Structure 1
Amino acid sequence: MPGLDEHDLAGAVWPDVLADPLVLVPVGSTEQHGPHLPLSTDTVIAQAVAERAAGILRGRAAGQVLVAPAMPYGSSGEHAGFPGTISIGHAALYAVIVETVRSLALWAGRVVLVNGHGGNVRTLDAAVGRLRAEGHEAAWTGCEAPGGDAHAGETETSVMLYLAPHLVRPFGEVEGDTRPLAEIMPDLVARGVRAVSPSGVLGDPAGSSAERGRAIVDAMASRVAARIGGGRVGENGRLIDPGVASPGPPP
């Protein structure tokens, strides 16, 4: 495809776009990630995972696979206590997702949102659920790292050391709250991240490495590609891992 750099929709011209492509839309955030990681961390990760998943799918899918420009703002109100955070909240993000997919649906065959920020989950559930009720071929999936820490700890620091090492500041002296997320969640929801962790870190970045980051990104991309390729969609448009039973109705 002349003029098209692999899956880059932003760098394409309109004749490069074939009929009914699969379009992946990275959804990130602009929010604090401790004193050592950039505000763009979630967006960088979502973009990288989407691009790598598209590369995997390209060898398997019959049609074209494209990656749209990332959405850089999300629902990040829990990080509002830190300068630099930009949160557009649930209602605005909901509207952006709905209108973006409605526009894509005019020419795309299928749209999958690839999410890099946990605070966007409620909005993605609501927005994609509505889009599917309208008849759109839309779904979403997250960039989870099973067993990883919650925020700006070893997991995300390792990933950023691999993806964008020039953006990572020294982290040897950084201290975070290392308690399980379930234990701190009530305080986090009620008072925000700063009340729980003055550094903004939920986890411990010590021991982070680019080598570990590469393994995490590869695993994330493989899992996202497997979900997309499997095409199994659960409640509110969330893609389900192949081989995992579909969740039943709530009790």
Structure 2
Amino acid sequence: MGQNTPPMSPVAWMSKSYPDIVDTAEEDGSMVIVPVGSTEQHGHHLPVSTDTLLVESVAHAGAAQVRGSVPVLVMPTVWSGRSPHHLPFGGTISLRTTTLLSTLSEIADTALENGFDALLFLNGHGGNMSVVSDGVTEVGDRHPDREILGLTYFHLAETVIDDIRESDPGGISHGGELETSLMLHVHPELVERDRITGTRRDEPYELGRQDLFVDGPLAVYRTFDEYSQSGAIGAPELATADKGRQLFEHLQSELGDLLCEIHTQNTGHA
């Protein structure tokens, strides 16, 4: 089996009684993490739960790293996001932008009623990024006395990705080298190795996004069947479990550091 996140880990909101949740929230500098995933096709070799599984694993690992020094809980992962561009392949469940924004906002509003000082939306799907950003603004506007933040987890790998990746720009996109490597480390039993295939991302606009780490200022909408016959975009054939381990350990460390920083910002400790 892979390094699965225990469904009732010590930092899981769902593992606690309500007095325990309130007690955690009342600690100075307390925070709650809301992982936001998706249910969408990831080619022939990865499960439709890939984004949800990865963001959940990173959230729990980062929170577990600082457990004992930072009062933090991880909520159940929001398993559906905004994924209309994946619908042509099947297997995808997509929410409207307004539905996802309302869902995130209402989850945050009620979580904050417990008394948490900070809330972090931790996103695991590119199609959710603008909605998560809007959620930070909307929730933050309603709760000016709380710290509301949003982050897409794979951006934490930006400082090490060039040392780990083998693919050229276009190789780390949807179901490509990065996600497949992470899944080979975290959930290898769910990767169908004999079905690994992908198409290098080929964005015709020079100013458009070429890669998860080679972005451009031009927003372009296309369904993913215009990029790939299999639905996987990038170079998943270059993925390895060792790359996944290196990436995951870095993501865990970076998220742990961020949680400590958020805690410090909300306690006034030097």
TM-score, normalised to structure 1, is 0.82
AA partner of residue 70 (structure 1): T
The 1:230–1:171 alpha-carbon spacing in structure 2 relative to 1, beyond 3 Å, is farther
**Equivalent residue pairs, number:** 227
Which residue number corresponds to residue 119 of structure 2?
A: 111
The 2-side partners of 1:132 and 1:175 are apart by 39
Identity rate of aligned residues, in percent? 31
Which residue number corresponds to residue 209 of structure 2?
A: 182
AA partner of residue 154 (structure 1): E
Q: Helix, strand or coil for the counterpart of 2:174?
A: coil
AA partner of residue 226 (structure 2): A
* Counterpart contact for 2:201–2:210, Cα < 8 Å: no
The 1-side partners of 2:197 and 2:233 are apart by 11
2:18 matches 1:14: yes
Q: CA deviation at 1:133?
A: 1.3
Which residue number corresponds to residue 100 of structure 1?
A: 107
* Counterpart contact for 1:78–1:188, Cα < 8 Å: no
AA partner of residue 94 (structure 1): L
Tell me how large the CA RMSD over aligned residues is.
2.4
Which residue number corresponds to residue 83 of structure 2?
A: 76
Residue in structure 2 matching 1:225, options 256, 260, 264: 256
TM-score, normalised to structure 2, is 0.77
The 2-side partners of 1:224 and 1:196 are apart by 32
The 1:129–1:169 alpha-carbon spacing in structure 2 relative to 1, beyond 3 Å, is same
AA partner of residue 51 (structure 1): H
The 2-side partners of 1:187 and 1:219 are apart by 29
* Counterpart contact for 2:80–2:95, Cα < 8 Å: yes
| Runs of 5+ unmatched residues, structure 2 | 1-7, 166-171, 264-270
Which residue number corresponds to residue 140 of structure 1?
A: 150
| Runs of 5+ unmatched residues, structure 1 | 233-251
The 2-side partners of 1:83 and 1:90 are apart by 19
* Counterpart contact for 2:177–2:236, Cα < 8 Å: yes
Residue in structure 2 matching 1:45, options 43, 54, 58: 54
Q: Helix, strand or coil for the counterpart of 2:182?
A: helix
Which residue number corresponds to residue 244 of structure 2?
A: 213
AA partner of residue 139 (structure 1): L
The 2-side partners of 1:162 and 1:60 are apart by 27
The 1:187–1:37 alpha-carbon spacing in structure 2 relative to 1, beyond 3 Å, is farther
Q: CA deviation at 1:50?
A: 0.4
* Counterpart contact for 1:171–1:206, Cα < 8 Å: no
Which residue number corresponds to residue 155 of structure 1?
A: 178
The 2-side partners of 1:207 and 1:142 are apart by 23
The 2-side partners of 1:42 and 1:94 are apart by 18
The 2-side partners of 1:173 and 1:217 are apart by 21
Q: CA deviation at 1:202?
A: 1.4
Q: Helix, strand or coil for the counterpart of 2:149?
A: strand
AA partner of residue 10 (structure 2): E
AA partner of residue 118 (structure 2): R
Q: CA deviation at 1:229?
A: 2.3
The 2-side partners of 1:163 and 1:5 are apart by 16
The 1:129–1:174 alpha-carbon spacing in structure 2 relative to 1, beyond 3 Å, is same
